[in-house]
Structure formats: C-alpha cells, structure tokens
Chain A
Amino acid sequence: MNRPAPAATHQPVTTAQPTPLLAVRDLNVRFQTDSGPVEAVRELSFTLAQGEALALVGESGSGKTQTAMALLGLLADNGRAAGTAWLSGTSLLDMPEAELRRIRGARIGVVFQDPMTALNPYLTIERQMTETLCLHRGQSRREARGAALRMLDAVRIADAARRLDQYPHELSGGMRQRVMIAMALLPQPDVLILDEPTTALDVTIQAQILDLLGTLRRDLGTAMLLITHDLGVVAAVCDRMLVMYAGEGVEQGPVAALLEHPRHPYTQGLLESLPSRQNGARRLATLPGHPPDPRTRPSGCPFAPRCVHAMAICATVRPAWEDESETRGRRCHWQAPETGVETGANA
C-alpha cells in the first residue's frame, strides 16, 4: 500500500473531553548548528486534557525534552519551533518572550531532572518558593509564606517551617525534588511539565516521589506532561503515552493498551528489550543498531534500519500518522496484527 511521501497533517487523537487543555499540532523544532540544520522534533502532534497525565516516552535524542523546551520557550538560541501549541486559547509558540515567561510561572509549572541546577543555591527555600507569588500575584510575604508552607505539607515534607529557612544544599536530593514540585505547583498551574523527574534519584526515593505524583494528581487535578525514558515510571503515573523516536511521534494510546499490545515495531522492541520482562532468558533480546544521527536522517522511516518488519517502502517513504482507533494511532507502514487495538479504550 502506497502512502503519500510528505506525511499529511494528522488530527490529534482526542479523548472524550471536548476541547483539550493543551493542543500541540505539527510541532517542528530545528537547530542551526555548525554542521548544518538538525531537526530535533518533526511533525509532532498531541493533546492533553484537563486533569490528564500524558507521557512523552523516548530514548536520548528522541526529541522529548526539546518538545517541552519549545512549549516553555526555553529552546537554545540556535533553536526554532514551528507549528502550533494552544494552551486553552493561548498560542504558546508565537508569544513574546516576556509574556511567555509570565505564563511559564503561572499556568505551566516545570520540574526538571536535577533539582540542584534548577534551584538557586544562594536563596533560601522560602525566597525561591514565594518570589513568583509576591512578584506576579501581588501577595504579601506573610500570605506567600503561608501558601508555601501548605504546599510543602502537600508534598509531604516534614518540618516544613524549618525547611523554608534552609538553603538547597542543606536538603537531600529527594527533598529538593519535593521542593521543586511544590514550587511548580504553588501558582496552581494548569499543566505541570515533569522532565525525567525521578531519573537522578535512588530507587526507594523514586518510589516515594512517584507515589506523591499520584496523590497530587488525585488531590489537585493538575494535568501532567511527563517526559521520561522509563516505562515503569509511565505506568506508575500516566493515563496515555506518546512514544517518540528520532524526533517523531511513532505511537500513541492509553498506557495499559500500549504496554500490553504495542503496535509499532519500536515500541515492541523497546518493551521486549526490558530485562524485567525477560526473566530466565539467557540472552537479552535487544534492538539491533542505534538511533540515526539527526544530521543525516534517512529519507524514509527513521526506525527502518533497526526494524524487524522493514519493507522496501520503509527505506524511501516516510509513513504518515494514522489514527487506528478512537484512542490509538501510529506512524508505520507495517500492517500490525489487529490484537489489542480495541482493548485500549479503557486505560
């Protein structure tokens, strides 16, 4: 079956909600480098509904972090974002820097992987937490301190009053990440973007933070965009996931459905290569080869050189995005067996 070469614009997969909180359509992120332009993100579309948690999943170089950076207006100087991104009626991509900064603090909260680099080492926790509230919300210091205390309680930091007077280096890594989450949630944002929030943490601390994120979702109803390489983290926190490879969205759907019945060969290979899924196997199943150099992108499907199902067409024609059901879609020429497409409706 032949499909048109330049992928047609696709309709984002939507869930039952009428208007999504965040709608990203045909996002492209391109960097000008000494060795020519690099396309970090290519025709990426997704939506995030009120109170929903969506995971952007991929390995290094998949474009997941640059997607978040584009939404936040934090791309490096040599980077440009094209396409559209609407946050309930506000267009994020063509907004003046100053206004975007305001939105970033108030309507989009961010938590990065390494809290130490995101926190100012010279300011007390109280100063860092309350600055936005005092500056942008016109709250008094006393009001802001009260709000910060309540939020530290919400992220289960014991002895919150004492912590407010401490500096970042006096807190453990897990505690700092709780502070980051509290700080991001303080202005009651519509969306919380979490970029590998537990990757730098030890596994017992990670478990505590994942548990906390689940509780916060339940209690506050904040929508979350979680960027991670860890499918275990996805399963613990998210409803839906979008798998990225070499800057493209390759498969999307409810988490349970995708983990049970992946339909893109990359998702399948990724799941099969998890050691936790191959108990007793003497050799680990692996994906052969490695991701393409973003400067020399293959003309067809970027995954084709590593794909077990690759056909002649895959080397030359880039597959278009196709919605396979109400909730699932993928970008692939290969006709996957039909199992599982329908089971995904209820995650």
Chain B
Amino acid sequence: MNGANLLEAHDLAVHYPVSGGLLRRRRWLRAVDGVSLSLAAGETLGVVGESGCGKSTLGRALLGLTPIHAGTVALQGVDLTALSRRQLRAHRRHAQMVFQDPLASLDPRMTVSQILAEPVRIHEPAMTRLAIRARALALLERVGLAPDAMDGYPHEFSGGQCQRIGIARALMLRPRLLVCDEPVSALDVSIQGQIVNLLQDLQAEQGLGLVFIAHDLAVVRHISHRIQVMYLGRTVEVGPADAVFQAPWHPYTRGLLDAIPEPQVGARREPTVLGEMPSPLDPPSGCAFHPRCPRAQARCEGETPALRSLSPERAVRCHFPLDPPSVR
C-alpha cells in the first residue's frame, strides 16, 4: 500500500442519464462532477452542502455502490473502478455505510442477531455461527445495547437504538472506512450527541476513516478534521474544519454558516445567499454559484473557476475568494 491514503478519489464523476423534454433528448444529470478527495486512517472528512449538491451520490460512489462515469476511487490503494464485479464485492467489505434513517435501513423481518450476522455470512462464509454470535454480542455491548437486544426486531427499538444497531452492523466486517450519510439528522438533539460520541470513540479505538456526510454544520464541525463543501456536484472549498469554519474563503461556505439559526436572541443575520439552488440538469454558466453569490462579478458568469490551492491545506473554487477573511 506504499503509505497511500485509506481513500483517494480523483476527478470522480457520476452522471445519470435523464430523458424527457419535447425532443426526448437524452441529457445528463451531473450529480458528481469531477470531485477529488483523500482520507487517512483515523481521519474524519465532513462533506457538507444542501440537497442536490451531490454529497449522497458521492458517498455511494466512494463505496462502489453507483456506476462511476469517470475518475478513480482507490480504497486501501486498490482502484475500485478497475475491479471486476466480483472483486469489487469482495473489496467493498473494507468500507461500510451508516444510513440516515436507521429504522428503514434495517430489515423489519429480521432479528438484530440476524441483521448483524448477514454481512459476515456473505463475506466470511467460513466463520462459525458461534464466532459470529460472539462478535455480534461484543459489538452490541460496544455500541451500548444490552445482550437481550439480539432477539429483538427493529421496530422494538427507538431511533437512537436503531442507529446503534446500524453502526454495529457496519462494524461486523471490521471495515477500515465508514461512510456515514446524515447519520444523526433523523435523531433528536439529545440523542444526536450520544451517536456522535460513539462514532468518535469507535474511530479512536479502531483507527477508522470516517466520511461524514451531513447538512448540520455544527455537528460536522465537531466531528470532522477536514471539511469539503459541495455545490451542484462540485467541491467549492476544502480545508481543515476549524480554519474553514472560522474564516471561510468561498462565499457559499460563508452563506451556509450565516444561515444557521443560532439559539441566541439577537444573533439573526440577514440571509446572504439569496434565491434557490438551480436545477442540476441546467447548471448556470461559469461559476455555478454566481446567480446566488453576493460577490459575483461579470467574470463569474463567463468563466468557470478552478479549484485553487491557496495554502498547503486549503483550496477554494472562486474567482474572488473572501481573502483576507472578513471579520465576523
């Protein structure tokens, strides 16, 4: 593995064909359009953006769960796009997913012990029932559930408990990477913190790499080492979480941060990002953000900005980045 990162994606593109319109023209929805990222073992990368920005599609592409149009994804140094279907299935065990809706992602007709055993039966057919059960019990305890949960069905558990089961299932194959797609958005605030803490503890113990996809910036900031902000299928800003949150360079990142309603009277700011996300089928010319950008100039409409590294750790896709960072 020559010291490569746990996960490396290069110019990843996921395009979906969409037919329709008067002439039944075939068009392409560029859900993910040339995204690169890297993740080291034990690191958390937060992927943020609003609906339609492509963050969930990106998460699925990283696991080889959706056809990749162009680019490469290397997991532990192995390019998923070069593998046969069978090889891909075998290699995918090193990366698992945690979903948003914990109840919907668990088969309602299976007991927890069956749910936990299923991935192992597929990927480690030689493992005995007893060994599987022992691993399942240990993981259940680790995620904070009692052993008698093994015989329960998903509907008997609360949302937070279901998410613990979902995490235990994801860990049954001892993966190196967890892709968490909005793992706490369906949970109550008082439960969210429990799950975030659990993920952080598991990461510390097992050196897991985490891709944490979410729209809640406060949670993302807390859990992430680095942040990647997406807009209409592209990365618009990437950098260390604290630096990006303290002084964003991209006007969209700034707008996202300004839009969070703070639980504090008098903290409300005028919205800085106006209008709505354009259709990904018909993205604006130049910088895709320019119709909503408070700093847009003529150049932004005509010329697509490149993702530029302005410091070793940070990059931004903007002709006129916020630099020096304005004072909040």
Contacts and interface: CB of A to CB of B under 8 A. Distances in A.
B263 A204 contact: no
A159 B153 CA distance: 52
A210 B268 contact: yes
B259 A204 contact: yes
A276 B188 contact: no
Interface string B189-216: 1111110110010000000000000011
Contacts of B192: 273, 275, 284
Nearest to B271: A207
A174 to B, nearest CB: 5
Contacts of A279: 221
Given A203-B256, A274-B218, A290-B160, A235 B193 contact: no
Contacts of A208: 271, 274
B193 A284 contact: yes
B222 A59 contact: no
B276 A214 contact: no
A15 interface: no
A207 B277 contact: no
A203 B191 contact: no
Interface string B238-258: 000000000000000001101
B261 A206 contact: yes
Contact of A214 (B196, B215, B268): B268
A287 B197 CA distance: 12
Contacts, number: 119
A261 B202 CA distance: 35
Which of A204, A232, A236 has most chain B Cβ within 10 Å?
Answer: A204
Interface string A264-305: 000001110111111101111111101100000000000000
Interface string B277-288: 100000000000
Interface string B139-175: 0000000000000000000111100000000000000
Given A204-B255, A274-B189, A256 B218 contact: no
Contact of B259 (A59, A207, A273, A282): A207
Interface string A162-206: 000000000010110000000000000000000000000011111
A231 interface: yes
Interface in A194-250: 202-208, 210-211, 214, 229-236
B37 interface: no
Q: What secondary structure prevails in chain A residues at the interface with B?
A: helix
A259 B265 contact: yes
Contact of A202 (B215, B258, B265, B270): B215
B259 A60 contact: no
Contacts of A270: 189-190
Nearest to B255: A204
Contact of A286 (B190, B215, B264): B190
A255 interface: yes
B189 A232 contact: no
A347 interface: yes
B262 interface: yes
B271 A211 contact: yes
A276 to B, nearest CB: 4
A290 B50 contact: no
A259 B263 contact: yes
Contact of A256 (B161, B190, B222, B265): B265
Interface in B259-306: 259-268, 270-271, 273-274, 276-277, 292
Contacts of A281: 222
Nearest to A276: B218
B297 to A, nearest CB: 21
B156 to A, nearest CB: 11
B190 A236 contact: no
Given A270-B189, A290-B191, A207 B263 contact: no
Contacts of B264: 235, 259
B272 to A, nearest CB: 8
22 contacts: A202-B277, A203-B256, A203-B259, A204-B271, A205-B276, A206-B261, A207-B273, A208-B271, A210-B261, A232-B260, A233-B261, A235-B261, A235-B262, A256-B265, A270-B190, A273-B192, A274-B263, A276-B218, A277-B263, A281-B222, A283-B200, A288-B194
Interface of A: 59-60, 172, 174-175, 202-208, 210-211, 214, 229-236, 255-256, 259, 269-271, 273-279, 281-288, 290-291, 347
Given A275-B216, A279-B221, 18 more contacts: A59-B190, A203-B50, A203-B217, A203-B259, A204-B292, A229-B189, A232-B262, A232-B263, A234-B263, A236-B268, A255-B265, A269-B190, A270-B190, A273-B192, A275-B222, A276-B262, A282-B200, A291-B188
